[in-house]
Amino acid sequence: MSDRPPRRVRFVRASLERLSQNQCLATVELERPEAGSYVGTATGGCPEVEGLRASARAAVDALMQAVGEQHRIEVHDVQVFDAFGHSAVLVHLAAQVQDRTQALMGFCVAGEDPTRAAALAVLNATNRVLDIG
């Protein structure tokens, strides 16, 4: 058993809903056990990568609500790639923390749910910079 402290921000769910033939709505819910839930949303195109980009932006939206908007995070790119025979999602973010901007990258194995993986990749990229877990 790990002595690791509990995560300050916890992933709850991610979904991608088709609004029209060319547009989707991504929703990501995060939770801070002591403070409640935060739901982020973003719209985007429906081809696979565009939907994942919307999911990443929705995760950033929820994260900024959870940790406070004194930081600024922007999604630069999202890619799906093959890693050792498994599909994975890679996100490239820019984070402005205090007076400096830095590039961040995070990834997550896609498994059966690439929408979820895009949101988790955002958390993977930001967890140490924002001290969330």
Q: Where would I find the H helices in the chain?
A: 48-67, 114-126
Is 46 within the bounds of a domain? yes
* Residue range of the domain that includes 64: 10-126
Q: What is the pLDDT along the chain (133 residues), one digit of tens a residue?
A: 455 555 688 999 999 999 998 999 999 999 988 889 999 999 998 878 899 999 999 999 999 999 876 788 999 999 999 989 999 999 999 998 778 889 999 999 999 999 999 999 999 999 878 776 5
Number of domains in the chain: 1
* Domain-located, residue 57: yes
Residue 133 domain flag: no
Q: Which CATH number characterizes residue 114's domain? A: 3.30.160.270
Are residues 34 and 132 in contact, defined by beta-carbon separation less than 8 angstroms? no
What pLDDT score was predicted for residue 5? 55
Cα separations (Å) of 16 from 1, 36, 50, 92? 35, 22, 11, 20
- Tell me, yes or no, whether 115 lies in a domain: yes
The pTM of this model reads 0.90
